[in-house]
Structure 1
Amino acid sequence: MTTSTTEIPGYTSGTWDIDPVHSNVTFTVRHLGVSKVRGRFDTVEGTIVTGDTVHKSSVTATIQATGVNTNNEQRDGHIRSADFLDADTHQTLTFASTGVREDDGEFFIDGDLTLHGVTKPVTLKAEIGGFGDHPSGSKVLGVSAKTEISRAAFEVGPTIPGAVVSDKITIELDIEAGQQQA
């Protein structure tokens, strides 16, 4: 039996809906090896289930590929095109956790990421922001997570050289979720 050595104040088991208004999914990629381009996905939805222990928790999330936003419409169009995400064919990115684990007081969410029609295992390093009360009287949960993926592993932009856009992409999530009412 896995036990947590880290106390999570206010930990509450339940089912939580990701709040797209108060959540962010962002990415960073190097351009020409000298600068970083940052962007976000404007549409994310999903569910977090907190079990009776954190290790029995799970998460599923769906991100709309057409919602990519780098604050440059021309670049966004290129990222949505067949050169990168091919958003007309692969309309969503999905994540489904396969486990939550703790190592030295740090939490990790293992799962399967499907991007560009390719599914690969990824690990997100997670920081539990906490559990709290919304002014409306409902409960909220906050969690942040970060991972790094390979463009090539997901067959994203295979004709774009790494010297132009790096293979390594950092993905960061800042999620707020509201507890479903019983």
Structure 2
Amino acid sequence: MTASADLSALLPGYTTGTWTIDPVHSEVAFTVRHLGIAKVRGRFDTFEGTLTTTDAPEASSVIATIDTASVSTGNAQRDEHVRGEDFLHVEAHPAMTFASTGVRVEDGEGFIDGELTLRGVTRPVTLAVELNGFGTGMGGKPAVGFSATTEISRADFGVTGGAAGAAVSDKIKITLDVEANQN
């Protein structure tokens, strides 16, 4: 069985085309441990991206940009610290980007491999992907939805946290829930 056949079987209703992420119906979120005992959650409120699905699903691609200054954790003081030089350093690095390098299936699970750039450092990451489905969106246009997760090491991207870094885990879980509309 070919890779395309493997992927097609996992993608009921698969539709080719170019899709724009709908930020109103999508979320880019993260979770990090504080003091090793509590989980602190946050999200980025401003982001954009494009998905391109092709006849061969494994040749499909994703490009996304996230406005780092749009970070929100529900606490204004913490948000300002996260925006600062210790963490995201948004003044020098106003965006983080993701560009896929491949789509694959292993043991019936979907993955998108790509490169994440954060604080000017680019590292490979793999997103575990769950297709939520293809359907009809607002205005009758085709829409697609998916969820994805990955875990990164903040140290790999030069995010030290300064003096507060010792209280925050190195591992950050990233969760995406995306709806995109066909152009």
What TM-score do you get using the length of structure 1 for normalisation?
A: 0.95
Structure-1 residue corresponding to 2:119: 116
Instruction: Give the counterpart letter for 1:71 in structure 2.
Output: G
Counterpart of 1:46 (choices 45, 49, 52) is 49
1:1-182 alignment runs, 5 A limit: 2-5=3-6, 6-157=9-160, 159-160=162-163, 163-180=166-183
Instruction: Give the counterpart letter for 2:33 in structure 1.
Output: R
User: Does the Cα contact within 8 Å between 1:18 and 1:176 map onto a contact in 2?
Assistant: yes
Select the structure that is richer in helix: 2
Give structure 2 stretches of 5+ with no counterpart: none
- Distance in 1 separating the partners of 2:79 and 2:88: 10
Instruction: Give the counterpart letter for 1:166 in structure 2.
Output: S
Q: Deviations 1:107-135 (Å, cap 9, x if unpaired)?
A: 00000000011000000000111100024
RMSD value, Cα:
1.3
- Distance in 2 separating the partners of 1:160 and 1:81: 13
- Distance in 1 separating the partners of 2:55 and 2:129: 18
Following superposition, the deviation at residue 53 of structure 1 comes to 2.5
Percent identity reads 59
SS in 2 for 1:136: helix
Which shifted more, 87-96 or 130-139? Answer: 130-139
Runs of 4+ in 1 over 6 A off after TM superposition: none
Following superposition, the deviation at residue 65 of structure 1 comes to 0.3
Evaluate the alpha carbon distance shift between residue 75 and residue 62 of structure 1 in structure 2; reply closer, same or farther with a 3 A threshold: same
